[in-house]
Amino acid sequence: MSLRLTFHGAAGTVTGSCTSLETPGGSLLIDCGLYQGSKTLKELNYGAFPFAPGGLGAVLLTHAHLDHTGLLPKLVRQGFSGRILATDGTRDLLAYMLPDAGYVQESEVERLNRRRQQRGEPPVTAIYTKADAAAMLPRIAAVAYDAWFAPLPGVRARFWQAGHILGSASIELEVTVAGGKPLRLLFSGDLGPEGNALQPPAQAPTGFDCVVVEATYGDRERPHLSAEQRRQALRAEVVAALGRGGNLIIPAFAVERTQELLFDLGLLFARGELPETPVFLDSPLAVRATEVFAAHLEALGEAAAAQNPFDRDNFHFTAEVAESKALNRIHSGAIIIAASGMCDAGRIRHHLKAHLWRRQSTVLLVGYQAPGTLGRLLQDGTRSVRIEGEEVRVAAEIRKLDVYSAHADRPALVDWVVARLPIARAIILNHGEGGARAGLAAALEARLSPAVPVLLPLLDASLVLDRPGAPRLDQAAVRLAPESLSALDWHNRHAALALAINERLRRTGDAAEREALLRSLEQVLREQRRVPPGGKAAE
């Protein structure tokens, strides 16, 4: 069997990370993540895997975020019976994250099926359930950083600190090659930025045949702020938001982003730089994750010196749904942090429904917003959105604070790659949209001398690694065209058009004008029905 590397996710997009490696000793996966973003992209979560789950010997995880782990229960349900190997931090987080993901999927599908039933449409089923997730958790085994282990015969691996979130790792692999020295591979996973308050800097050795590196922010350079400068930027946003007379709503990823925000807010409160404002953490998963962080304080960088930075009298953790709904009766003077970070699921959606139409409210985006998500629509200035089938006007102040990203920017990514030199055969960029990967590729090509080939695989592209010369991508069997991975799809355009029609009808002066507008739209539909796809209108 040839050594073949195939990119089944996060190739031209930033979610669904899943890379397979076929070796003479068997096949393994690096990550098995959930697709997030447009409905076209998320539909991939429901389809068959482009490989046989039962034929895999092991799965190695870079970290706990669902775009890297969220399809593991489905993988097990469809026949995978091997080991899942991760750091202890990743294992501990997944004990809560995956059952929560199953519960969210069940809840979302239940609401969706009520609407589908009203429309006379057949029901859909969840990708997996909370019970499916709980059943697969015993398969996850923890391995320490910088300790060799053998996931397959002829393959050995090590985890290295990636500085992204608790438990995050880059993965070093050595694969035995017949008649030669081992092939050395490095998968960056998601790399953290400099100055992360809760994580140490990324580490990894040098000298590889191929390095696979993320490119989420490969096309941008963020201001390099110190931890104190970051806190002051947050302080300014909080002061401005509360000064408008409303609440501050922060959509935040339940893992790492939430804990960083709590840590920085706690310091600002303790130093008297912010008044003792009530902070509500309204996410059962984020509450559980915060408990895991508190149990791993010794691994949390700057926070390791604190007794428990998440325990303050003005921090309130809501667990029950009734408590969450009660928060909507608070119209001013509170900070509400809720998941999900891209606003596409979870309790943040009912907080947005309650606050987006209020001019006094502020929504602060503190993380990456994938194309097609509600968070991205808000970031791009959309003035009317649909949430759970309802139209909501956007009158609130929408702010973005990019200093809390858990991803390295372009200069940091380039520095990380340069620190891994020599790289003998290829650098492969994944986990990035088209512009981000192109920007990072250009920066690497300008920095590296002598040049190292930089490859940009499409979804399901593969390359054979045990042939002489530079690896070449086989991109013949892709599931989605590159333009479908990170662009708005027809679902987004349909929602936008429906909102635009409603807005036009509201603004039109009288009933006769509305009738004329509707007749013109009906005429367009009649003309469209007379035109077969790709053909001419009927005579």
Cβ atoms 56, 29 nearer than 8 A:
yes
The average pLDDT across 462-471 equals 85
* Eight-class DSSP state of 181: P
So what's the pLDDT on residue 491? 63
Cβ atoms 259, 293 nearer than 8 A:
yes
Q: Give the separation between CA 144 and CA 416, rounded to whole angstroms.
A: 22
Nearest CA-CA partner of 264 in 241, 287, 230? 230
Question: Which tokens go with 503?
Answer: 């807005």
Cβ contacts of residue 74 below 8 Å, gap of 6+?
Answer: 45, 49, 127, 128, 132
Q: Which residue has the tokens 């003005």?
A: 314
So what's the pLDDT on residue 472? 86
Nearest CA-CA partner of 1 in 177, 192, 202, 241? 177
**Pairing relation of β-strands 279-281 and 315-317?**
parallel
Question: Which tokens go with 118?
Answer: 């009203």
The average pLDDT across 129-137 equals 96
The average pLDDT across 487-495 equals 64
Cβ contacts of residue 35 below 8 Å, gap of 6+?
Answer: 9, 13, 15, 16, 41, 42, 44, 45, 67
So what's the pLDDT on residue 217? 93
User: Of residues 40 and 130, which shows the higher confidence score?
Assistant: 130
Cβ atoms 202, 186 nearer than 8 A:
no
For the four alpha carbons of 407, 411, 416 and 420, in that order, the dihedral sign comes to positive
User: Of residues 90 and 469, which shows the higher confidence score?
Assistant: 90
Q: Is the pLDDT of residue 532 over 70?
A: no
Q: Is the pLDDT of residue 535 over 60?
A: no
Res. 485 pLDDT band, cuts 50 70 90: low
Q: Is the pLDDT of residue 537 over 70?
A: no
Q: Give the separation between CA 247 and CA 256, rounded to whole angstroms.
A: 23
CA 255 to chain centre: 11
Cβ atoms 88, 144 nearer than 8 A:
yes
Percentage of residues of the chain with pLDDT beyond 70: 93
Q: Which amino acid does the sequence have at 223?
A: P
Q: Give the separation between CA 503 and CA 369, rounded to whole angstroms.
A: 26
Tell me the pLDDT tens digit for each residue of 305-344.
566 788 899 999 998 889 999 998 999 999 999 988 899 8
So what's the pLDDT on residue 484? 62
So what's the pLDDT on residue 539? 39
The average pLDDT across 74-93 equals 96
Res. 538 pLDDT band, cuts 50 70 90: very low
For the four alpha carbons of 350, 352, 358 and 361, in that order, the dihedral sign comes to positive
Q: Which amino acid does the sequence have at 326?
A: A
Q: Where are the domains of the chain?
A: 4-220+406-465, 227-404, 490-529
Q: Is the pLDDT of residue 1 over 70?
A: no
Which 3 state secondary structure label does DSSP give 206? Answer: coil
So what's the pLDDT on residue 195? 73
Res. 161 pLDDT band, cuts 50 70 90: very high
> For the chain, how are helix, strand and coil distributed in percent, rounded to 5?
35, 20, 45
Q: Give the separation between CA 288 and CA 97, rounded to whole angstroms.
A: 9
Cβ atoms 250, 404 nearer than 8 A:
no
Q: Is the pLDDT of residue 215 over 80?
A: yes
Out of 231-245, 316-330, 341-355, 471-485, the most confident range is 231-245
Res. 505 pLDDT band, cuts 50 70 90: confident
Q: Give the separation between CA 175 and CA 163, rounded to whole angstroms.
A: 25
Cβ contacts of residue 271 below 8 Å, gap of 6+?
Answer: none
Tell me the pLDDT tens digit for each residue of 343-399.
988 899 999 999 999 999 999 999 888 777 899 999 999 999 988 878 899 999 999
Cβ atoms 354, 387 nearer than 8 A:
no
Residue 206: C-alpha distances to residues 172, 184, 417, 418, 456 (Å): 10, 10, 9, 9, 22
Three-class DSSP labels, 374-434: HHHHHHCCCCEEEECCEEEECCCEEEECHHHCCCCEHHHHHHHHHCCCCEEEEEEEECCCH
The average pLDDT across 410-428 equals 96
Residue 54 dihedral angles phi and psi, to the nearest 5°: -70, -15
Q: Is the pLDDT of residue 534 over 90?
A: no
The average pLDDT across 234-244 equals 97
Cβ atoms 16, 74 nearer than 8 A:
no
Res. 474 pLDDT band, cuts 50 70 90: confident
So what's the pLDDT on residue 411? 95
**Pairing relation of β-strands 26-30 and 423-430?**
unpaired
So what's the pLDDT on residue 478? 67
- Domain spanning 227-404: which CATH class is it, in words? alpha beta
So what's the pLDDT on residue 489? 61
Could you say which of 3.30.70.270, 3.60.15.10, 3.40.50.300, 3.40.50.1000 is the CATH number of the domain covering 4-220+406-465?
3.60.15.10
* DSSP assignments along 81-149, one per residue: -SEEEE-HHHHHHHHHHHHHHHHHHHHHHHHHHHHHHHTTPPP---SS-HHHHHHHGGGEEE--TT--E
Cβ atoms 253, 341 nearer than 8 A:
yes
- Phi-psi bin for 331: left (phi > 0), alpha (psi -120 to 50), beta? alpha
Q: Give the separation between CA 15 and CA 407, rounded to whole angstroms.
A: 14
Q: Give the separation between CA 151 and CA 157, rounded to whole angstroms.
A: 7
Percentage of residues of the chain with pLDDT beyond 90: 64
The average pLDDT across 111-115 equals 85
Secondary structure element (H or E) that encloses residue 251, with its range: strand 248-251
Average pLDDT, the chain: 89
Secondary structure element (H or E) that encloses residue 523, with its range: helix 511-529
Q: Is the pLDDT of residue 220 over 70?
A: yes
